[in-house]
Amino acid sequence: MAVAAGMPSCVPENIRRKETTMSFTNKVEHKAEELKGAAKEKFGDATDNERLQAEGAAEKAAAKAKQAGDHLGDAGRHARDAVTGY
């Protein structure tokens, strides 16, 4: 199993592994939420249902905001790794 980069060796391996797994899991969940919102928005377009269009657009926007947070977290980890040399 992959170990999270940038974690000092004094940190137990199960904790280092958890950081990587949670990050990947969150990214997959957020991408799935974006696709669900896009599908709902398209279905609303096809059925001329304004409520579904709006819900889909809102869900897609919320998922994209979560993905931006994921990217910021990755950038922070990369910066930490560059500074600490891990």
74 is written with which tokens? 């990755």
Can you give the pLDDT of all 86 residues of the chain as single tens digits?
Answer: 444 455 555 655 555 555 666 788 999 999 999 999 999 999 999 999 999 999 999 999 999 999 999 999 888 888 888 888 76
What pLDDT is recorded for position 48?
97
Please say whether the beta carbons of 70 and 27 come within 8 A.
Answer: yes
Contact assessment for residue 33 and residue 56, using Cβ atoms and an 8 Å cutoff: no
Q: Which two tokens stand for residue 16?
A: 């280092």
pLDDT for 36-52, tens place per residue?
A: 999 999 999 999 999 99
